Amino acid sequence: MVRHLYVHIPFCPKVCPYCSFYKEASDRNKTQAFLDAILLEADQSGEGLRPETIFFGGGTPTALSTLQLDFLISGLRARLDFSELREFTIEMNPATVSREKAAALLERGVNRVSMGVQSWDDALLKTLGRVHSASQARRSYHILREAGCRNVNLDLIFGVPGQSVALWRESLLRTLELAPDHISAYCLTYEEDTEYFERFRSGEFVPEEARDAEFFEVTMDVLSAAGFEQYEISNHAKPGRECLHNLAYWNGADYAGFGPSAFSTQAGLRRRNIADTAEYIRRIQGGLARHDFEESVPDGLRASEVVAFGLRTKQGISPEGIDPKVVSALTANGYLEASPDRLKLTRKGKLVADAVAAELL
Ligand SMILES: C[S@@+](CC[C@H](N)C(=O)[O-])C[C@H]1O[C@@H](n2cnc3c(N)ncnc32)[C@H](O)[C@@H]1O
Ligand code: SF4
């Protein structure tokens, strides 16, 4: 039985120059065919799926209208057994929130919202090419709370060109004033096939690792002092507010993924749907294979992923199968905390998590 469902909605009000998620600017002509295709995918592969968690991600799921979201959720409800659903998350861009939409989503069973605020500084939001202002993000947050949403995550980005550490601390403090349940704080990465990557390659943007480490340390200090637990390197939650969907994914649980570019891992096979909305629709309508990638993963995760994902979480990883000499060296240098049955990153190790994981592999 598969217990986790991801649905990828590839539309955004406007494409941000740093983002490499599969998405396109919203196109009214394609939307209904896309929604029909998702429901057809549920018909074709929803058997054996009784979700405990659902995650509508993107893109921007709330780029869909209230009616379209209603159609999609009702359609999924009619096809899948929701009786054991515990967490239903939807990602939102602050520019796509309205009272009507928030109320309809909560009524349909959504019980967690993840909103991309990124920064509370208007100049930085402009640098990031965001479609919303800081005050619009604040208004949207209050709309969600007033509509009765009791579990809200806010996404923030640090290490943005032009952002000082003081400005970042200020963004964290302003986030805390709103009392969200969860905060995801991501270090800006320059992803291939983005405008930011080109600007990085041309030398306009210069990464500053030492400064990124400082941003990271400030994040840990400010959020832990406010009662958030860093249960994964980029994710901080109030007690009991960890994202169950992401935890399942990091722990290697099977999951189904609907929509273009969505991954599924089931019964030792990982597949990815084609990252092209028109082609995804065509293949689903024609009853053709919608995957353009597949690999075998007998235990749900590859050994390298067990280390890479596990090390980023507060539980760490088992030392089984890892060279004890490497563990001793990393422990002696202050990057790892080792007990007989667990290896965990220290604070110093968290600053260079990917490099530590690479050493362990
Ligand atoms: C799918 S978006 C969230 C919802 C919505 N699309 C929005 O942007 O408001 C997921 C999150 O990934 C983060 N993100 C995207 N590209 C990133 C990058 N290159 N570096 C760091 N974080 C990034 C942003 O914080 C963003 O909120
Ligand atoms: S950050 Fe969010 S709104 Fe911006 S392009 Fe990516 S998915 Fe779309």
Distance from the alpha carbon of residue 248 to the mean position of ligand 1, in angstroms: 20
Residue whose C-alpha is closest to residue 58's, from 9, 120, 126, 125: 9
Distance from the alpha carbon of residue 254 to the mean position of ligand 1, in angstroms: 24
Distance from the alpha carbon of residue 139 to the mean position of ligand 1, in angstroms: 19
Q: What is the pLDDT of residues 247-270, one digit of tens each?
A: 999 998 999 999 999 999 998 999
Q: What is the pLDDT of residues 306-322, one digit of tens each?
A: 899 999 999 999 999 89
Instruction: Report in angstroms the alpha-carbon separations of 300 from 119, 295, 341.
Output: 35, 11, 21
Q: What is the pLDDT of residue 361?
A: 86
Q: What is the pLDDT of residue 28?
A: 81
Amino acid (1-letter code) at residue 164: S
Where does the pLDDT of residue 234 fall: very low under 50, low under 70, confident under 90, or very high at 90 and above?
very high
Q: What is the pLDDT of residue 17?
A: 98
Hey, CA dihedral for 168, 169, 172, 178, is it positive or negative? negative
Q: Which residues line ligand 2 (CB under 6 A)?
A: 12, 15-16, 19, 21, 23, 58-60, 93, 116
Average the pLDDT over 137-141 and give the result: 98
Q: What is the pLDDT of residue 298?
A: 81
Query: Could you give phi then psi for residue 145, rounded to 5 degrees?
Result: -65, -45
Q: Are 10 and 61 in contact (CB under 8 A)?
A: no
Residue 119: burial class (beta carbons within 10 Å; 0-12, 13-18, 19+) = buried
Distance from the alpha carbon of residue 124 to the mean position of ligand 2, in angstroms: 15
Instruction: Say yes or no to pLDDT of 300 above 80.
Output: no
Instruction: Say yes or no to pLDDT of 152 above 80.
Output: yes
Instruction: Say yes or no to pLDDT of 303 above 90.
Output: no
- What tokens appear for 181 in the block? 């349940």
- What tokens appear for 298 in the block? 């007998």
Average the pLDDT over 221-227 and give the result: 98
Q: What is the pLDDT of residue 10?
A: 97
Which ligand 2 atom sits nearest the alpha carbon of residue 129?
4
Average the pLDDT over 131-139 and give the result: 98
Q: What is the pLDDT of residue 33?
A: 97
Pick from 155, 171, 194, 197 the residue to mutate for probing ligand 1's pocket: most ligand atoms within 8 Å of its CB. Answer: 155
- What tokens appear for 86 in the block? 């515990």
User: CA gyration radius for the chain?
Assistant: 21
Q: What is the pLDDT of residues 91-129, one digit of tens each?
A: 999 999 999 999 999 999 999 999 999 999 999 999 999
Where does the pLDDT of residue 209 fall: very low under 50, low under 70, confident under 90, or very high at 90 and above?
confident
Nearest CA to ligand 2 atom 3: 12
Q: At what angle do helices 209-225 and 165-177 cross, to 10 degrees?
A: 30
Q: Structural domain boundaries of the chain? A: 2-250, 307-360
Distance from the alpha carbon of residue 20 to the mean position of ligand 2, in angstroms: 8
Q: Report, at the CATH architecture level, how domain 2-250 is classified.
A: Alpha-Beta Horseshoe (3.80)
Where does the pLDDT of residue 210 fall: very low under 50, low under 70, confident under 90, or very high at 90 and above?
confident
Q: Is residue 337 helix, strand or coil?
A: strand
Q: What is the pLDDT of residue 283?
A: 97
Q: Are 149 and 103 in contact (CB under 8 A)?
A: no
Nearest CA to ligand 1 atom 3: 116
Residue whose C-alpha is closest to residue 3's, from 48, 58, 56: 48
Which ligand 2 atom sits nearest the alpha carbon of residue 130?
4
Percent of the chain with pLDDT over 90: 92
Cis before residue 252, ω within 30 degrees of 0? no
Q: Please give the Cα distance from 19 to 22 (Å, whole number).
A: 9
Task: Indicate the pTM of the whole model.
Answer: 0.97
Average the pLDDT over 179-191 and give the result: 97
